Amino acid sequence: MGLFITYEGGEGSGKSTHARSLYRKLARLELPVLLTHEPGVTPLGKRMGRLLKWARKMEISPLAELLMFNVSRIQLISEVIRPALDSDKIVICDRFAASTVAYQGYGRGLDLKQVKVVNEIGTGGLRPDLTVLLDITAEAGLRRKGGKTADRFEAEDIAFHTRVRAGYLKQAEEEPRRWLVVDAEKSKKEIAGIVWDRVRKMIPGEKINRLSEGLDVR
């Protein structure tokens, strides 16, 4: 079985940037690695993603959001994640089930027990070996987005994004061994170094130690 690493965080946290950074690092080490993201990648996920993020003229209820994210998650796991893990690859995923707990549970106010039951069905019990949370205040994260056109989630008010952040931190508090919380306002090099220090300990074998010596963590 391979290694499953997920990146989580609110808007503007830099999770996509740092997921790509870790992917490039592992690829340079010639380790079998796959980078993916939710809810896209699969044809179904791409369609769901467009609706969930950009459907301006369509009302989507919080429960519908929860179910739609999990429908796309089921397909992503079936088509992409499970086959890669079964082939002993390291899979890096930009967002996973923790996002629906944070956004639809804490952000939208859905019953957390209900969210976790639906997530359990959606993931089929698959859990990340490591979840990296890039933590940033809602205000600072949204400032980073600048003048870009906001999607349905980015356009929510500051109270929503504050609840999302609280939801992430609560999950990390509940499973400290599986979560790595990193201050997203540190430099890119500092963040990459903190994450790499954790990840390299999870990869067995002499090859990782030999190849990583002297290799820039960025």
Rounded average pLDDT over 80-106? 98
Domain boundaries, the chain: 3-206
Dist. CA 96–CA 39, nearest whole Å: 9
Say if residue 183's pLDDT is above 60.
Answer: yes
State residue 150's pLDDT score. 86
State residue 154's pLDDT score. 92
The letter for the amino acid at 166 is A
From the CB of residue 191, how many other CB atoms can be counted at a distance below 10 Å?
22
Rounded average pLDDT over 158-173? 98
pLDDT confidence bin for 1, thresholds 50/70/90: low
The letter for the amino acid at 186 is K
Q: Under CATH, to which class is 3-206 assigned?
A: alpha beta
DSSP characters over 6-39: EEE-STTS-HHHHHHHHHHHHHHTT--EEEEESS
SS3 call for 4? strand
**How many Cα atoms within 13 Å fall on the side-chain side of residue 171?**
29
Dist. CA 8–CA 179, nearest whole Å: 10
State residue 146's pLDDT score. 76
SS3 call for 106? helix
pLDDT confidence bin for 57, thresholds 50/70/90: confident
The letter for the amino acid at 175 is E
Q: What is the 3-state secondary structure (H, E, C) of 141-176?
A: HHHHHCCCCCCCCCCCCHHHHHHHHHHHHHHHHHCC
Beta pairing partners, 135 = 183
From the CB of residue 98, how many other CB atoms can be counted at a distance below 10 Å?
24
Which of 5, 155, 205 minimizes the C-alpha distance to 91? 5
Angle of helix 138-145 relative to helix 158-174, nearest 10 degrees, comes to: 120
